[in-house]
Homo-oligomer: A and B are copies of this chain.
């Protein structure tokens, strides 16, 4: 079974458990709405690819970790879209969760997806208790304080922001959890895989900043992106557009070099190369230059 099919199956199984006997039906529906149809499932695919490169000796462990990371990502999207943050009406081409279900169920759907991430680990790893402790800590560090995605989002409420801390926590943390967690779950050496997650995470964030500005210029004909409008820290704001594009290229090369020698090295490089072309569509990069 390929990675995508394994991920979708594991995510489906976890959501079915969460909608079990006694559950309030609207919250169950809102959670499913937040998770399906998915985006590119980049983080869980990366997690599984690293686990496979390390031998994937406990497939249920790597699938659990991959799904858990995706649930945390979906939870963060639901809460980031709330009126008190981005006030986003739509997400992935459909109304955002609070637009479709109301604000109370959006808050609770995010909460429940955070918990589901940890429940998924607990459910998938009782046979590998040694790995459970490391994976649980990796997941908790990537999601909470002092350095996970929740911490990252909180920098938007601070008067003085470190751009690198903000990027590392808000975007990098889950990519690091994907590579480090994939290595733990697959039986590899986790620290060898950290730098790869850091590079991909930072590349994603820089690419997002670029897209935000360029798409805005192209579509709306105004020079101010949503990041600037929302007062969010941005790589483009700090480095300029050309500087940000250079930084992005540098990060992607570094990511390629950060892959440790392993059996699936060629395949992993392929995944990263494919993602890289998706990060900034060529016409946008050209238009910007």
Contact = CB atoms under 8 A, between A and B. Distances in A.
A41 B216 CA distance: 51
A282 to B, nearest CB: 35
Interface in A138-152: 139-141, 143-148, 150-151
A271 interface: no
Interface in A106-150: 107-108, 110-112, 114-116, 118-119, 121-123, 125-126, 129-130, 132-133, 136-137, 139-141, 143-148, 150
A79 interface: yes
How large, as a class, is the contact surface on chain A? Answer: 35 or more
A111 B72 CA distance: 11
A145 B79 contact: no
Given A22-B165, A22-B169, A24-B157, A82 B107 contact: yes
B146 A18 contact: yes
Contacts of A133: 122, 125-126, 129, 132
B146 A121 contact: no
B114 A146 contact: no
Given A137-B119, A146-B18, A27 B154 contact: yes
Contact of A104 (B84, B130, B148): B84
Contacts of A67: none
A125 B122 CA distance: 14
A129 B115 CA distance: 20
A85 interface: yes
A11 B150 CA distance: 20
A23 interface: yes
Q: Give the 8 A-B residue pairs with the shortest CB-CB distance, closest first.
A: A115-B144, A23-B146, A119-B140, A27-B154, A18-B145, A129-B129, A84-B103, A24-B154
